[in-house]
Chain A
């Protein structure tokens, strides 16, 4: 299992669209992916769970990934966060 903390740098935080983009990645992953914010753990393959975390801009988010493609999935997530979910940055 690997884990990493990522930063939310877009202006609006993880609302529906970014949550969708995250699930685009995690949904296809063979590994289990957990998203942790504010001590709340959620299944990162569920768009509803990810949205319910309502992660505000400027937050830290931790991902725990466990499975054969864990490295690859983490890389994709990192890139997504680095690119501000293709939105305006904060």
Chain B
């Protein structure tokens, strides 16, 4: 599928070469090489007449502005996909571009020495580069790299051709070869334009490999000097799964490549077929499969993986950064998810900060017991302004009416009622400003044992439950899940936990509301069968687990798993539960070729 034989015939006989690197993004492709290198810039010194100076100054400011915009954009993409820390490097770049020493130095050279803008940028930045390069500290010498990067970007912006590659420069069926792929190159590519990537550098490429994966383009990195070895129009096979490339492959290589590609494509097709099928048991019980997401951009993938909505968007991921997100930023993020998935439902959990998810501007430092501390809804009910800003942003973003709001860590009716008052207040305020608000379903996380004990009452006042198994297990069993000394006591199939889940489901169904499970448990095959058997209506998990889960659900009878679950509820220890589940399900699971990670009972055969 992803092959191109174009231009193969006219290349002279060039030696076959196999290079091994790091698998950066899976898949196979064959095509012709297209090498990208940093253009060499030639700069001429000119002394300009006075009337040209204002124009020259404008050229610089425009280029500076465009470069800042470009880096800010790349930073945002990096932060969205990889998190705040990875984005920091671009903060330094932005700060350098706004540095008065640099900017005024360049402007002075234009205005006072009457030099052309290229010359001013060239002399100022190269002077800085050489002083950093000659520095005694290795850390400072590394910074010269950043300055070089900025130099190329600014020069590119001045040239107006921009530092990113032009799309029509690359003919279809090309494999991009370069020393290092920058995110700016990647995001400037159109879909389907490039077959694969191969790069010299294996260092700072983690962001590139994640971007490649999300674009579903095979990539191999860490090939040391491939960019110097290939010539344009060399044919190359890229094995992104194995981390290998073959330049000028022989017939044997091509045959093997075609075999591997076919297997890979078949797997992709299977995934695609599974995507179309309903998650329904053989006797017709429909189980809703939703995705858990952390990044706004992941919303793009949710439907592709075959789920029918978002069961949990952890909104705190918007807050893991310097400075809190503004109202506008929040609206934009929620809107993106809600609108890209409409009419499918999207459950957004309100800020769940604290515990092991500290947010610099909110969380209290040094709590001796952070999991049971000042976190989650407790923080929100105290920081009312923060909470209401989020609630308003959610209501405003809900233009399609597919939003469900989920409140975390609820442990009392009062917390629920106070939260509802805030939601009502926000709705009234927005409506008085003329903003139309769709109705919103409201649910609570069942993750504190107190909530389970109050579950009959909670069920009367909310529209749905979502069980957070990680916290529920931790609090029910009094086992800190970050403490390695007791890690074996963190038992998802402990009868106490299973009875908590059962009690929750019973109460919910009495009131006619649905129950979701959004913890890690829902993605484990054996646990998911148990949860379905216990009557859970919805499982929410990482998008890539959906396909396997669907496969399992389609292979079973609901009546059978219900009976198994009923038997399990009669048991009084985890070992018996695991042994029984293994006896019941391990054959089915092995036959389906899926993997377990929770209850893989150790070698104790019985």
Contact = CB atoms under 8 A, between A and B. Distances in A.
Interface of A: 12-13, 15-17, 20, 23, 27, 43, 45-49, 51-52, 54, 56
Given A16-B139, A17-B92, A54-B135, 13 more contacts: A12-B139, A17-B88, A20-B95, A23-B95, A27-B98, A43-B100, A46-B100, A47-B92, A47-B96, A51-B143, A52-B131, A52-B132, A52-B140
B136 to A, nearest CB: 7
B408 to A, nearest CB: 27
Contacts, number: 47
Interface string B85-112: 0001001100110111110000000000
Contacts of A47: 92, 95-96, 99
15 contacts: A12-B139, A13-B137, A16-B92, A20-B92, A27-B98, A43-B101, A45-B100, A46-B99, A46-B101, A46-B102, A51-B143, A52-B132, A52-B135, A52-B140, A56-B137
Contacts of B95: 20, 23, 27, 47
Given A16-B139, A54-B137, A49 B91 contact: no
A46 B135 CA distance: 18
B187 interface: no
Interface string B136-158: 11011001001000000000000
A52 B101 CA distance: 12
B450 interface: no
Interface string B51-87: 0000000000000000000000000000000000000
Contacts of B137: 13, 15, 54, 56
A43 B100 CA distance: 9
Nearest to A56: B137
Contacts of B131: 52
A16 B139 CA distance: 8
Nearest to B142: A16
A44 B227 CA distance: 41
Contacts of B128: 48
Contacts of A54: 135-137, 140
Interface string B443-483: 00000000000000000000000000000000000000000
Interface string B145-178: 0100000000000000000000000000000000
B247 to A, nearest CB: 38
Nearest to B128: A48
A20 B146 CA distance: 14
B101 A48 contact: yes
Contacts of B139: 12, 15-16
Contacts of A52: 131-132, 135, 140
A58 to B, nearest CB: 14
A27 B99 CA distance: 9
Contacts of B143: 16, 51
Contacts of B136: 54
B281 to A, nearest CB: 51
Contacts of B140: 15, 51-52, 54
The 6 closest A-B pairs by CB, nearest first: A46-B101, A15-B139, A47-B95, A46-B99, A54-B137, A48-B99
A16 B96 CA distance: 10
A20 B90 CA distance: 11
A15 B100 CA distance: 19
Nearest to B322: A24
B126 to A, nearest CB: 14
Contacts of A48: 96, 99, 101-102, 128
Interface string B420-440: 000000000000000000000
A23 B128 CA distance: 18
B121 to A, nearest CB: 14
A48 B101 CA distance: 7
A43 B103 CA distance: 14
B100 A20 contact: no
Contacts of B96: 47-48
Contacts of A51: 132, 140, 143
A12 B137 CA distance: 10
A13 B136 CA distance: 14
A32 B364 CA distance: 33
A30 to B, nearest CB: 14
Contacts of A45: 100
Contacts of A20: 91-92, 95
Find the residue from B88, B136, B140 having the highest chain A CB count within 10 A: B140
Find the residue from A23, A27, A45, A48 having the highest chain B CB count within 10 A: A48
Nearest to B146: A16
Contacts of A13: 137
Contacts of B100: 43, 45-46
A45 B146 CA distance: 19
Contacts of B132: 51-52
Nearest to A42: B101
A49 B92 contact: no
B102 to A, nearest CB: 6
A31 to B, nearest CB: 14
A4 to B, nearest CB: 23
A49 B135 CA distance: 13
A48 B99 CA distance: 7
A71 B276 CA distance: 64
A24 B99 CA distance: 11
A48 B97 CA distance: 10
B134 to A, nearest CB: 11
Contacts of A43: 100-101
A49 B117 CA distance: 22
A76 B139 CA distance: 25
Contacts of B135: 52, 54
A45 B102 CA distance: 11
Contacts of B102: 46, 48
